[in-house]
Amino acid sequence: MNRKTFLNGLMSGAALAVAGLPALAQDTIKIGEINHYKRMAAFAEPYKQGIELAVGQINDAGGVLGKPLEFIFRDDQGDPGEAIKIAEELMTRDGAVMLTGSILSNVGLAIASLAAEKKYIYLASEPLADAVVWENGNDYTFRLRSSTYMQAAMLAEEAAKTDAVKFATIAPNYAYGKDAVAAFKKTLTALKPEVEFVTEQWPALFKIDAGAEVQALERAKPDAIYNVTFGTDLAKLVREGGTRGVFEGRTVLGLLSGEPEYLDPLGDEAPEGWIVTGYPWYDFPEGANLDFVNAYKAAYDDYPRLGSIVGYMTAQSIATVIAKAGSTETEEIRAAFADLNVDTPMGTITYRALDHQSTMGAFVGKTAIKDGAGVMVDWTYKDGADYLPSDDEVRAMRPQSN
C-alpha cells in the first residue's frame, strides 16, 4: 500500500508537469523573464511595467523581425535553485529565445552560470554584482545596469572633491555590500591617497540594528560616511541616525539612496544633502528621458521608479539585439551583442565586447526635500563608460573566453 501511494504521488507530480504544457505558438518571439515578483515586489513590479510599456511600443511599431515580442514572466521566489529550474523550462518547453531578469545578485550569478553551461543567452538586467561580468563573466551573459563598481566609482569621484579625510563605511554584509565598499575604497584611494577608513560596519541584510550601528559610527568620529544600505535597513538607519544626529556636520554618500524605490518610503524624513546615485524622474526638462516618464505616467497613472526604466531598457536592448542579429538563433544573438548600440531614454548605450557590460550610466546628485518628499537636486548624468577599470584590468579579472 505504501508503495502504491508513493507511486501515485510521483505519477501525479509527473502528470501535473505534463498537463501544464501550453500550446506552442511559434508566431511570437518569446523572452523568458525570471524575477522575484513576490519576494521583492516593490522593485519587481515597476520593472515589469517598464518592460510591458516597451513591449507595447515595439509591437505597435511592427514588432521584431516582423513578429511580436512576448515576455513570459515567472516568479522564482528569490531562490537561485528555483530560478535555474524555471530557466530550463523557459528555454526548453516554452520556446524562449533568451533569458533576462533577476534583481538579486546571487540569482543573477546562478542564471549566468547556467547560461554558460547550456549556451543560453542571458541578459542580466538588474543584478549589480561585479562578478557577473568580471570574475564569473562568460560568453553568454550580458549585463545592462551599471555595476556596483561603476556607481561606487562615481560616488568616490564626488567624495574626493570634499574635504573629508576620515571615512566610515556601512554596508550590508553580503557580496553586493562588500563589492561596493571595496570599489569605493579602491577608486577613492587612487584619487585621494591621504584618505583613511576609520571604521567599517556590516549589518546583516534587512536585519540592521540601527541604534547600535549609529553608535558604532559615532564612536569612530569620521568626517564622512559612505552608506550602502538600502530598503528597510536604510529607513531605519535614517531614522536612528537623524534622531541621534550622526549625520550632522558630516558628508554622507549613499549608493542607490536617490532611487525612488528607497527615497519615497522615507517621505519628508528623507535625508538632505546626501550625495547619491538615483533617478530624478520628476526633473527632466525635455528629451527622451521626459518622453519616457510621460509615456509611463500615461500608461500606468503612476510615476516610474528606477526599476521601470531598467525594465524599459531591457526590452529595448533585446529588441535591438534580435533585430541586429536578424535571427533568434543563440549564436547569432550572441554575435550581435558585440559592441551593440541601443538607443534608450538615457542616450545611446553600448554593450562592450570586452566584458559584455553595457555603458548605461547613473544619475548622481544631492538629496533635498521638496513638497514633503525626498528628491535629487543638482544632478548630472554620468556615462558608465567613464567609470570602468582599464581594459587591461578588466581582461585580468575576466576569465579568457574563446
> By CB under 8 A, which span of 63-71, 173-181, 330-338, 357-365 interacts with another protein?
173-181
Cβ contact 397:135 at 8 Å = yes
Minimum CB distance to another protein, residue 191 (Å): 26
The grid coordinates of residue 337 equal 551583442
Residues 25-64 that bind another protein (CB under 8 A): 38-39, 41-42, 45
| Residue 79 near another protein by CB under 8 A | yes
Query: C-beta of 35: minimal distance to another protein in Å?
Result: 12
The residue among 10 and 165 lying less far from another protein, judged by its C-beta, is: 10
- Report if residue 375 touches another protein, rule: CB under 8 A: no
Q: How far is the CB of 272 from another protein (least distance, A)?
A: 16
Positive/negative CA dihedral, 275, 261, 184, 122: negative
Whole-number minimum distance, CB 10 to another protein, in Å? Answer: 5
CA distance linking residue 155 with residue 227, whole number of Å: 11
The number of residues that bind another protein (CB under 8 A) is 84
Q: In terms of CB distance, is 271 or 345 closer to another protein?
A: 271
Nearer to another protein, 37 or 337 (CB): 37
Residue 341 has a CB neighbour count (10 Å cut-off) of: 12
Among 35, 100, 125, 136, the residue binding another protein under the rule CB under 8 A is 136
54's CB contacts (< 8 A; 6+ apart) are 311, 312, 313, 314, 315, 316, 319
Binding-site member from 10, 165, 323, 353 for another protein (CB under 8 A): 10
Q: Does 302 bind another protein (CB under 8 A)?
A: no
Distance CA 229, CA 235 (A): 9
Q: Which of residues 91-110 bind another protein (CB under 8 A)?
A: 92-93, 105-106, 109-110
84 contacts another protein (rule: CB under 8 A): yes
CB 59 within 8 A of CB 318: no
Q: Determine, following the binding rule CB under 8 A, whether residue 202 of this chain makes contact with another protein.
A: yes
Near another protein by CB under 8 A: residue from 99, 129, 156, 255: 129
Q: Measured from the CB atom, is 112 or 164 closer to another protein?
A: 112
CA-based angle 255:261:262, to the nearest 5? 50
* String of contacts with another protein for each residue 225-244, x by CB under 8 A: ------xx--xx--xx--xx
- Is residue 114 within the footprint of another protein (CB under 8 A)? yes
> Which sign does the torsion angle of CA 76, 77, 80, 81 carry?
negative
| 11 lies in the site for another protein, by CB under 8 A | yes
Close Cβ partners of 318 (under 8 Å, ≥ 6 residues apart): 31, 69, 98, 100, 123
What residues between 259 and 278 interact with another protein by CB under 8 A? 264-267, 269
298 lies in the site for another protein, by CB under 8 A: no
* Part of the chain binding another protein (CB under 8 A), chosen from 16-24, 281-289, 315-323, 370-378: 16-24
Distances (CA, A) of 355 to 131, 133, 165, 181, 215: 11, 6, 34, 22, 41
On whether the CB atoms of residues 274 and 259 are closer than 8 A, the answer is no
Among 160, 182, 191, 205, binds another protein (CB under 8 A): 205
Binding another protein (rule: CB under 8 A), the pick from 162, 173, 294, 348 is 173
**Number of residues written out for the chain:** 402
256 binds another protein (CB under 8 A): no
Query: CB of residue 380 vs another protein: minimum separation in angstroms?
Result: 28
